[in-house]
Amino acid sequence: MTLKKIIAGATAIAALAVLAPMTAQADENTPAATETTNSQVTNQQSVPVVYHMNGGSINGVSGDGTVQVPAGQTILDKLPTAVDLQRDGYKFAGWTYTDGTPVQSGDVAKLGKDYYEVQAQWTSLTPEQPTATYNIIVSTNGGTVQNGENAGQTGDLQYQVKEGTNLLSVLPKLKRDGFVFVAWHYADNAGTQVGAQDTVKGNVTVYATWNLDKVDPGMQVTTHTVVVRTNGGTVQDGEAKGQNGDVSITVGDGDNLLSVLPSLKRDGFVQRGWYYGWDENDNQSYGTSTKVGESDTVTKDLVVRALWDVADPDSGMNVKTYDVTVKTKGGVIDGGEFDGQSGDVKFTAAENDTLLDKLPKLKRDGYTFRGWHYEDVAAHGTNTTVKATDTVTGDVTVIALWDVADPDSGMNVKTYDVTVKTKGGVIDGGEFDGQSGDVKFTAAENDTLLDKLPKLKRDGYTFRGWHYEDVAAHGTNTTVKATDTVTGDVTVIALWDVADPDPDMNVEQFTVVYNTNGGNINGEVGDFSVQVAKGDTILDKLPTTDEIVRDGYKLSGWQYAETGTDKDGSAVKATDTATGNVYKIVAQWTKVAAKGDQSKTDAAAKADAKKNDGAILGETGSAIAGVAVFALVALAGAAAVMLLRKRA
C-alpha cells in the first residue's frame, strides 16, 4: 500500500465523520422513506374529535370524551359504537356533527382542521307523548258552585284539565236562587252550546246560562243581561247583597226594569236615581243620560248606572264635588263603603271637605301605616304628606305609605332585601302597582316569602310561578314553596308560559316538546313544552340564546330527534312550521374551547422536541468529529511507520 493511498483513505474516513451530523440534521427535515413507528406519529398527523354522549355512558361513565383520528382515517372507526354506549330506555342512533349532519362511514379526518365535534343521537325505546294541560275558565253568571273543591264559590273559576278530557264531565254543578240552569255555552248568552262529546283541546272559557224560575215550564223565554253600576254604592238586598262595583243580573224579556234593580246605600250620599246611556268606559253614549222611568221594561241587554248627590247638610245650597282616588299600596280597607277592598278605589267628596276625614282606614299584615301622601309630587313639592288642615279643592289622588312592623316591640327585628324580577310582567295591585322590571322591598326575618310577593299580569302569557335566581344555592328545584321563609337577602324571578292565543279554539294548537340538552332556562333543565298554532314558525317559539345557556358552550341551533320521521337528525329550519305535535327537538351546542391555548401547547411541545433533537445531534456531532481527528492522526502515523520500514 502506498503512502498516498493510506492518506487518501484516512481523509475519506475523516470527511464522513465530519459530514455525519449534517446528514442527521438533514434527515430531521426530510420525510422518512422507510416505515414510521407509532412513536413517530405527531399531532400534526392526527385530528382530535370531541364527542358528547348526550345522556349516554360508557361503563357507567358519562360526559364528553376525545379521540385522536389519524389524518386520512375514517372518523367513525375511532368513535364509540353501539356496543360501547348505553342509555336506559334508549337505543343508540348514530353520531351527528353540531350542525345536525350525520357522521357518514366515509368521513375522514383532514389535516388543517382544529378539531371535530360530534353528538350521540338516541331513539326512545318507549316513546310517550306528553299530555298537555289546559285552563278552563268557568263563568257561573250568578250561580254558586255546589260540588268539588270550589263548592260555595261564585263568579269566575279556573280549572286545569288534561287534553282530551270530556269537557262537561269537569264542569261544576250550580245553583242560583230564582233561576233554572239551562246549559253551558262557549260565549256569554250566545254562541255554541257545550256538547256531550266535546273534549278539551285548548284553553277555553264557558258560561252558565239561566232562565227565570218563575216562568211556566215549556215556554220559550227570552232573557237579557242588565249590568248594574253601583258607582260607589253597596247592594242591600238580593243575591248580590253586600257587593259593590258592577253587578250583572239576568231578567226576563218584558220585566219592569226598576222592579229588578237592587237597593243601594252609600255613606254621605243620596241616590239621585238610575240612568241609561253609560258605556263600558263610563262615557255617556247618548250625549245626555236618560233616567230610568217607572214603566220602563227590559227588551234588550242594558247598562244602568246609579247617580249620587252629596248629602246636603244645609238644604238649599249647591255643593261642588270632586273625585278622590285612593291607592292602598297593599293595604286593605277596614270599614266603610269599600270595606275589604284593596288596590285603587275612587269616591266623591264635597269641595272644602277635610281630606283626611274622607280617607278610609287601612290595615296590612306585618306593616304599620306611615300616612297618606299626595301622588302628584310636581303639585305638592318634596313634602307630599296629607296634613290635617288640607281640604278638597279639586280631583286628587293619594297613596298610602307603609313601614315593616316590629313583631315584638323593644326587640331588634332583622330585615332583609327581597328583589323581584317580573320578567315582562306588570305588578297588579299593592305598593308597586303598575310597575314592571325589577323592584326591591324589605321583609322581616322568617316572614313567609310567598305572602310578600306581588301579583303579576302579562298579556299573552300565563304565570308559572316564582323561582329563586340563585341556582347554586337552591339546586335544580328553584321553585319558591309555600313554606319558604325569609332568611336573608334574596332575589326571585317570575316564570311565564305563552298563553293560548286562541282560547276559543278557532286555530288548531300543537304541542312542541324541546330538550335543553345540558343547557338551562332560568336554572331549569330537561324537557319543556310550548303551544304552537298551526302554521306558526317553530323556531319563533323556541328559546333564544338569551333565554337558554350552557357554561362553556354556545347555542348553535335545534335538531329534530325521536320523532320517528325522516326529520330525525336534521336541523330545525327557519321555514319549518307547525303541522302537528312534535316530540321532540333537542338543543345543539358548540363548545367554546380555548383553541389558542391548545395551539400554543402543541407548538411549545414541538419546539421542545426540536430543541432536544438538536442538542442530541450536537453532542453526537462533536463526538464523531473527535473520532475523525483521532482516526486521521492514527492513519498518518501508520503510514509513516510503513514508509520507514520500506526504506529500511
User: What confidence tens digit (pLDDT) does each residue in 248-299 have?
Assistant: 888 888 888 998 899 998 887 888 888 886 555 555 443 345 788 888 888 8
Residue 420: is its pLDDT beyond 90? yes
- Give the right CATH number for 133-212 from 1.10.3720.10, 2.60.40.4270, 1.10.10.10, 3.30.1780.10: 2.60.40.4270
Residue 93: is its pLDDT beyond 60? yes
In this prediction, residue 237 carries a pLDDT of: 80
Average pLDDT over residues 97-121: 91
Q: What is 202-234 written as a DSSP string?
A: S-EEEEEEEEETTSPTT----EEEEEEEEEEEE
Question: Do residues 361 and 387 touch, judged by C-beta distance below 8 A?
Answer: no
In this prediction, residue 32 carries a pLDDT of: 37
In this prediction, residue 16 carries a pLDDT of: 45
In this prediction, residue 9 carries a pLDDT of: 53
Q: Which of 64-73, 226-235, 544-553, 587-596 has the lowest mean pLDDT?
A: 587-596
| Grid cell locating 215 | 216562568
Average pLDDT over residues 231-248: 81
Question: Do residues 258 and 291 touch, judged by C-beta distance below 8 A?
Answer: no
Cα(123)–Cα(250) distance, rounded to whole angstroms?
58
In this prediction, residue 217 carries a pLDDT of: 54
Residue 82: is its pLDDT beyond 50? yes
pLDDT tens-digit map of 473-497: 766 678 898 889 999 999 999 988 8
Contact residues for 499 (Cβ-Cβ < 8 A; gap 6+): 203, 460, 461, 462
Read off the pLDDT band of 398 (50, 70, 90): very high
Average pLDDT over residues 430-457: 87
Closest residue by Cα to residue 190 from 202, 176, 205: 205
Task: State the average pLDDT for the chain.
Answer: 78
| Grid cell locating 603 | 407548538
Q: What is 244-307 written as a DSSP string?
A: EEEEEEEEETT-BHHHHSPPEE-TTEEEEEEE--B-TTS-BTTSS--BPPTT-B--S-EEEEEE
In this prediction, residue 188 carries a pLDDT of: 64
Residue 642: is its pLDDT beyond 60? no
Rounded percentage of the chain residues whose pLDDT exceeds 90: 20
What are residue 10's phi and psi, to 5 degrees?
Answer: -65, -40
Is there a cis peptide before residue 584, judged by omega within 30 degrees of 0?
A: yes
Architecture label for domain 406-498: Sandwich (2.60)
Residue 597: is its pLDDT beyond 50? no
One-letter amino acid identity for 454?
P
In this prediction, residue 128 carries a pLDDT of: 57
Cα(311)–Cα(330) distance, rounded to whole angstroms?
31
In this prediction, residue 69 carries a pLDDT of: 92
Torsion of CA 544, 550, 555, 558, to 10 degrees: -80
Cα(233)–Cα(346) distance, rounded to whole angstroms?
11
Residue 31: is its pLDDT beyond 50? no
Instruction: Please say whether the dihedral angle defined by the alpha carbons of residues 53, 58, 62 and 67, taken in this order, is positive or negative.
Output: negative
One-letter amino acid identity for 535?
G
Read off the pLDDT band of 640 (50, 70, 90): very low
Residue 181: is its pLDDT beyond 60? yes
In this prediction, residue 24 carries a pLDDT of: 42
Whether pTM exceeds 0.75: no
Cα(613)–Cα(630) distance, rounded to whole angstroms?
26
pLDDT tens-digit map of 8-24: 554 444 444 444 444 44
144 three-class SS: strand
Tell me yes or no: is domain 43-125 CATH 2.60.40: yes
Question: Do residues 503 and 201 touch, judged by C-beta distance below 8 A?
Answer: no
Please name the residue that has the C-alpha cell 262529546.
197
| Grid cell locating 50 | 370531541
Q: Which residue has the higher pLDDT, 315 or 461?
A: 461
Question: Do residues 586 and 515 touch, judged by C-beta distance below 8 A?
Answer: yes
Cα(571)–Cα(517) distance, rounded to whole angstroms?
15
CA angle 435, 440, 445 (to 5 degrees): 140
Read off the pLDDT band of 129 (50, 70, 90): low
Average pLDDT over residues 94-115: 91
Residue 391: is its pLDDT beyond 60? yes
Tell me yes or no: is domain 509-591 CATH 2.60.40: yes
- Give the right CATH number for 320-403 from 1.10.10.10, 3.90.230.10, 3.40.50.2300, 2.60.40.4270: 2.60.40.4270
Q: Which of 144-158, 212-226, 315-329 has the lowest mean pLDDT?
A: 212-226
Q: How many CB atoms lie within 10 A of CB 426?
A: 17
Torsion of CA 637, 641, 642, 643, to 10 degrees: 100
| Grid cell locating 402 | 307603609
Read off the pLDDT band of 312 (50, 70, 90): low
In this prediction, residue 403 carries a pLDDT of: 80
Residue 27: is its pLDDT beyond 50? no
Residue 169: is its pLDDT beyond 50? yes
Read off the pLDDT band of 117 (50, 70, 90): very high
Q: Tell me which DSSP letter residue 564 carries.
A: S
In this prediction, residue 6 carries a pLDDT of: 46
Q: Which residue has the higher pLDDT, 644 or 96?
A: 96
In this prediction, residue 594 carries a pLDDT of: 56
One-letter amino acid identity for 503?
P
In this prediction, residue 576 carries a pLDDT of: 92
Cα(527)–Cα(376) distance, rounded to whole angstroms?
49
Read off the pLDDT band of 453 (50, 70, 90): very high
